[in-house]
Structure 1
Amino acid sequence: MDIEPLLKFWPLIYSIIQEFWGITEEHIEEAAARDEVPLELYLYSEFGLDTFSTEYFQKRDPFSNPEQFERNFARLTLKGWIEPLEDGQFQVTEAAREGVRRIIQAGDEQLAGFGSMPESDLERLATLLMQIIAECKITRTPPEKWAIFKRFRVAEKHSPWIVRIREYLMDMYAY
């Protein structure tokens, strides 16, 4: 099978994600400042919001600076957002997860007025993306699927279709 045409989808998907970020990021940052939720927690949500560790983060982003994570982990621990575990990992608190959920929802609220496509088309697109995500989760390794399983998700079954589409695209980005 010639996969060359399929490879053209990834730049398109990434450009759509960037458009979503262009709409939501400013509002997420404002909500983080207003609610005093460290922006790092939002940024780290792509790694999952159960446990943090330098090892996990470098698995997802191997070219990152581990010292930066260690400094941030120390600051987040001091403020009570994460709690150290015995094995070099940090447990993310429920308050941290709820704080990140709130600030992401502040960004997602900006998508609610999206009217460029009929709801039925958005629903169909969401269904197709959901099928792709399901296949990504069961496909053979490589690639590793660690990030797609760990990623912190906010959209729920009752969320607007456009918000679910953003969530599915972020799953693909994690993959």
Structure 2
Amino acid sequence: MSLIFSRINFHLRALWRQHRAAVMALAIAASAAVATAVAWAGAALENQRQEAVVASLRAARVRTISAPIPSQSVASRQSAPDLPKFSSQDFTAQFHETAIGVGLPVDEVAYTLEQGERQPYMRYRVTLTVKGRYIEVRKFVAALAAEMPHVTLDSVHCARESTPPQQLSCDLGFSAFFHKA
């Protein structure tokens, strides 16, 4: 066995003495190839993770869109659910406290109050832009659902910022329903 190692050692030393520049170039090329393979694998893993995020957001959207809508006759026979009384100040404060509680910075917020004549409730539309990681956006939506059952998620649109790669910029649309006075 030591004879084999000594022959390999002899040939490697001879190669080094005769072709020092070529051996160095080969070592540098091999290092660059390894670094490229590691970077490519990291990018592929990040791409898979982002595709999973998009797929879960699309699945959540499909679940909310495909929920059955009761017919008008069934809805008119049922009594209106218990809805809180409208207080813009209390609602916006609780909304922002929920975002701060999960560590999600809110960039832009717009509120619109809709009072339909034929509806037994008021609808308060909230659209906002948040920037953060996917897990923070999910925590925010889950916390809103737990703390404010009269608030529903209407729309989600997320785009990945260029730097850092974990950051998402999401436009969220909510509807809050309140008892008509």
Smaller-chain TM-score bracket? under 0.3
With the length of structure 2 as denominator, give the TM-score of the two structures. 0.25
Bigger CA radius of gyration? 2
Which structure has greater strand proportion? 2
Which structure has greater helix proportion? 1
